[in-house]
């Protein structure tokens, strides 16, 4: 009887010990799985409990310590993210406000400079006209940059509101090209415009589309030392109109093709990068995509670049 009792006690003890180990391992595995699921699975103040004093208990204690550290790190990262998001919103608001405050005096400077150039305030000497031309061109560049900065700030805050209507793409392209013709004077660069006949109207915000074309054409003329810059407009598909701006400039390396569309992202030699702030292409792609279109680039070093804008055509 005594032997049977001893066997029974041993069996019960073994069962209890096995149940404890199984329970501890099950809890341990569950908490390891919760950690591996990522920060979103963590619960504050709920590290895995330490249920025994053996090796499994030591492992549970170590896991509890790791759990607490991970939770603290996650909370710190969340706090930093909240601070960063607040700072970004304040920055974008500040940029938009500053842009609006600067635009008026810049417009006044450009307008007065053009009046002086046109002789509305008397005839200028050749040297004076050259100086005024520099002022007008400088104000144009600053206004273009300001437009990009304000547009990016607006996009970051609440999105850019488009005023979409039917736009005569052919006339718009000709107008933009005509405005850039002075940039070819005295340079071995030809500006060519080729517009297909019978183009359908585009569904676009004319002001924003003009901004995109100014950016693309301005860049092409800026980086083309000699050769040709061309703007070709065609209806490639039944649903869209394509505007291709090509140049014979230095081209862009394949490794830089994605980076040029990043904010402040530029490519090419250092002396070329200093010619701009690196905002034009970034905001241009955003504006085109907001219209449901696409802006792509193909380029070969030493052989120029081609930027293609595809805009949805009007359904009417």
Give per-residue pLDDT as tens, 5-56. 444 444 444 444 444 555 555 655 555 555 555 555 555 555 555 555 556 6
Residues contacting 176, CB < 8 A, separation 6+: 210, 213, 214, 217, 231
Instruction: Provide the residue ranges of all domains of the chain, joining segments of one domain with +.
Output: 1-159, 165-312
Position 111 pLDDT exceeds 80: yes
CA angle 291, 168, 244 (to 5 degrees): 65
Evaluate whether 143 touches 107 at the Cβ level (below 8 Å).
Answer: yes
As its CATH architecture, domain 165-312 has: 2-Layer Sandwich (3.30)
Q: How confident is the model at residue 174 (pLDDT cuts 50, 70, 90)?
A: very high
Which string of b and e fits 200-231 if b means at least 16 CB within 10 Å? Answer: bbbbbbbebbbbbbbbbbbbbbbbbeeebbbb
The crossing angle, in degrees rounded to 10, of helices 55-117 and 2-36 is 10
Here the tokens at position 29 are: 């595995």
Say what the pLDDT of residue 9 is: 40
Say what the pLDDT of residue 273 is: 42
Count CA within 13 A, CB hemisphere, residue 190: 5
Phi/psi zone of residue 208: left (φ > 0), alpha (ψ -120 to 50 degrees), beta?
A: alpha
Position 271 pLDDT exceeds 80: no
Here the tokens at position 127 are: 């040297």
Closest to 116 (Cα-Cα) out of 179, 175, 108: 108
């Amino acid at each position: 009887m005594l032997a049977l009792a001893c066997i029974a006690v041993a069996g019960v003890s073994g069962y209890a010990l096995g149940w404890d180990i199984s329970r501890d391992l099950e809890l341990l595995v569950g908490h390891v799985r919760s950690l591996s699921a990522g920060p979103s699975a963590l619960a504050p103040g709920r590290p895995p409990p330490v249920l025994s004093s053996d090796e499994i208990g030591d492992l549970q204690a170590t896991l509890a310590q790791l759990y607490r550290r991970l939770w603290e790190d996650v909370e710190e990262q969340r706090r930093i993210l909240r601070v960063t998001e607040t700072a970004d919103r304040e920055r974008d608001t500040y940029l938009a406000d500053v842009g609006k405050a600067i635009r008026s005096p810049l417009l006044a400077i450009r307008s007065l400079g053009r009046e002086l150039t046109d002789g509305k305030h008397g005839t200028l000497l050749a040297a004076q006209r050259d100086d005024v031309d520099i002022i007008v061109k400088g104000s144009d560049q600053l206004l273009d940059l300001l437009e990009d900065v304000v547009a990016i700030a607006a996009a970051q805050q609440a999105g850019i509101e488009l005023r979409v209507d039917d736009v005569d793409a052919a006339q718009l392209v000709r107008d933009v090209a005509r405005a850039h013709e002075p940039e070819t004077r005295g340079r071995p660069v030809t500006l060519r415009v080729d517009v297909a006949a019978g183009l359908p109207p585009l569904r676009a915000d004319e002001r924003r589309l003009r901004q995109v074309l100014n950016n693309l054409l301005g860049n092409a003329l800026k980086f083309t030392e000699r050769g040709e810059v061309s703007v070709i407009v065609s209806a490639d598909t039944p649903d869209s109109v394509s505007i291709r701006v090509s140049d014979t400039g230095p081209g862009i390396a394949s490794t830089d093709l994605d980076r040029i569309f990043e904010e402040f992202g530029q490519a090419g030699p250092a002396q070329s990068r200093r010619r701009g702030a690196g905002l034009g292409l970034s905001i241009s792609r955003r504006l085109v995509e907001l219209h449901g279109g696409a802006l792509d680039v193909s380029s070969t070093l030493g052989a120029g670049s081609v930027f293609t804008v595809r805009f949805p055509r009007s359904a009417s």
